[in-house]
Amino acid sequence: AQKITQTQPGMFVQEKEAVTLDCTYDTSDPSYGLFWYKQPSSGEMIFLIYQGSYDQQNATEGRYSLNFQKARKSANLVISASQLGDSAMYFCAMTPTGYSSASKIIFGSGTRLSIRP
Amino acid sequence: DVKVTQSSRYLVKRTGEKVFLECVQDMDHENMFWYRQDPGLGLRLIYFSYDVKMKEKGDIPEGYSVSREKKERFSLILESASTNQTSMYLCASSRPLEDEQFFGPGTRLTVL
């Protein structure tokens, strides 16, 4: 069965520091996609970054990068130069297959990130 | 700007009531999803739909049903609300063959 594990329920980081949010996954599918979503206190889920299992390079989107280590089945999110607005809940997620007519996403339990000024 | 909207941000109902949660998307997406979010459990899929009048059970469908009469609208129904259905409910939509899902703002349902 597919599973996403986020072992850090909460983290505190000083503003402007880099932060790494951990995510490990388990799947037997050869093809899958990995996501990170941000959920501020307002409740909406904001898509941050995507990594396909066959992508050769780690995904990057502005200050966000995904440290994809396939052999270790980890997909850590790195936020460089953290800002106060980064304080939120962060979810790692996975689709069991890369492409399907209605891809179901499996979510981890989330990490609450708090940025200190 | 693309948008997924949900009918209520906050809802309070009594045990045994029938509850309708509405979700509308304006992106012409075929796929729509209902999740519930609980602390420490992340998001869990209740039902999804990949076309009008089509529906599939997710991981926790018990106690819920859905309706998709129009492409843009996906409704979650609690036939007889119970206190263990107190939760945050999130709707999402996506295009076929694309994995990214776009989420609504969520409905925080309290069942007393």
Q: pLDDT tens for residues B72-85?
A: 999 999 999 999 99
CA A87, distance to chain mean position in Å, is 15
Q: How confident is the model at residue B16 (pLDDT cuts 50, 70, 90)?
A: very high
Say what the pLDDT of residue A99 is.
47
CA A110, distance to chain mean position in Å, is 9
* DSSP structure class, residue B90: E
pLDDT at A13 over 50: yes
Locate the chain A residue with the closest alpha carbon to B99.
Answer: A103
d(CA B72, CA B31): 10
First to last CA, chain A: 41
Say what the pLDDT of residue B100 is.
80
State how beta strands B102-103 and B87-94 pair.
antiparallel
Helix (H, G, I), strand (E, B) or coil at A108: coil
Q: Which of B6, B43, B109 to mutate to test the interface with A (most CBs of A within 10 A)?
A: B43
Token pair, residue B88, equals 């945050």
Type of residue at B30:
E
Taking one residue from A and the other from B, the number of pairs with CB-CB distance under 8 angstroms is 69
* Helix (H), strand (E) at residue A35: strand A33-39
Locate the chain B residue with the closest alpha carbon to A92.
Answer: B42
Q: Which residue has the higher pLDDT, B102 or A23?
A: A23
Distance from CA of B99 to the nearest CA of A (A): 6
Q: Cβ of A23: how many Cβ atoms within 10 Å?
A: 28
Q: How confident is the model at residue A74 (pLDDT cuts 50, 70, 90)?
A: very high
Q: How confident is the model at residue B44 (pLDDT cuts 50, 70, 90)?
A: very high
Helix (H, G, I), strand (E, B) or coil at A19: strand
Task: List CB contacts (< 8 A) between B103 and chain A.
Answer: 37, 44-46
Angle made by CA atoms A55, A56, A58, in degrees to the nearest 5? 80
d(CA B68, CA B34): 12
Phi, psi of B51, rounded to the nearest 5 degrees = -170, 165
Say what the pLDDT of residue A20 is.
97
Task: List CB contacts (< 8 A) between B94 and chain A.
Answer: 102-103
Say what the pLDDT of residue A43 is.
85
Kindly state the average pLDDT of the residues A3-13: 94
Helix then strand then coil, % of chain A, to nearest 5: 5, 50, 50
d(CA A109, CA B10): 22
